Amino acid sequence: MRLLPPLLLLPSLLCGCASDTTTLFEVELRGVITYGAEVGPVEVQVHFEEAGEGELNHPLGEIDRFWTALDTPFVFAFDYPQDEGVGLIVYAWYDADDDGVLCAPGQVDEPAGLIVVPGFPLHDVDVDMDVGVRCQGPEDLLP
């Protein structure tokens, strides 16, 4: 764990806010994304399970994202801002037509999947996921 540099606190001091220190929790995500026997690019996103307080509480909240390949083991390290949300969700979609867009109009119906990581917070997270639901963003795949 480490603290953000003091410079990042300056804007909040200028606007008269309370302390806005963020504690970062280091996470290493490992796993494999599969879609049958296919190979190709897959985007993985990591989200909070929930974030925000009071009326501003909401599911999800993207922390980071990266590209990897189907059926290929990956390792991805990221900093989890502990004061901004709880839980961890991993969402992935297979870019079958390699256009960088999930289900562009008139194009291929591409598969996606989502997992809620049990037992979080954990420094080491293992995720193996089969994608299969067509054209769904993370908001549509919440349990």
Partner 1 sequence: MRSLTPLLLLLALPACTVDPGVEYGSATLPLVDMHLHTGEWEDIPSATRRFLAERFPFPLGLDAEATAASVLTGEGVLAELDKAGAAEGVLFAVYAPRSVGITTNETVIEHIDADPGRLWGLASLRVDRWRTDRDAELAALDAALDHPRMIGVKLAHAHQHFRMDDVDYFGIYDVAQAHNAPVYLHTGPSPFPGTSQDAPYTDPAFLEAAITRYPGVSFILGHLGFDFIHGDEGALETCIRLAKEHDNVFLEPSAFGSSSGDPDQVHLPHALARIREEGLVDRVIYGSDGPQSPGFVNTYAERTIHAMTEAGYSADEARAVLSGNFARVFDVAPAVLP
Sheet holding 85-86, edge to edge: 58-59, 50-51, 85-86
Q: Who's near 123: CB < 8 A, 6+ residues apart?
A: 25, 26, 27, 28
With binding defined as CB under 8 A, does residue 123 bind partner 1?
no
Give the Cα separation of 143 and 137 in Å (integer): 13
User: CA-to-CA distance for 131 and 76, rounded, in angstroms?
Assistant: 19
Minimum distance, C-beta of residue 15 to partner 1, in the bound complex (Å): 4
Rounded Cα–Cα distance for residues 32 and 19 (Å): 39
Select 32 or 87, whichever has its Cβ closest to partner 1.
Answer: 87
Which of 1, 7, 56, 75 is the binder for partner 1 (CB under 8 A)?
A: 56
Binder among 59, 74, 108, 115 for partner 1 (CB under 8 A): 59
Of the candidates 140, 125, 45, 139, the residue with the CA atom closest to the CA atom of residue 93:
45
Q: Is 133 in the site for partner 1 (CB under 8 A)?
A: no
* Residue 12 is a binding residue for partner 1 (CB under 8 A): yes
Stretch that binds partner 1, among 13-21, 26-34, 110-118, 122-130 (CB under 8 A): 13-21
**57 binds partner 1 per the rule CB under 8 A:** yes
Nearer to partner 1, 49 or 71 (CB): 49
3-state secondary structure of 137: coil
CB of 59 to partner 1, least distance (A): 6
Residues that bind partner 1 (CB under 8 A): 11-12, 14-17, 20, 51-52, 55-62, 101-105, 135, 137, 139-140, 142
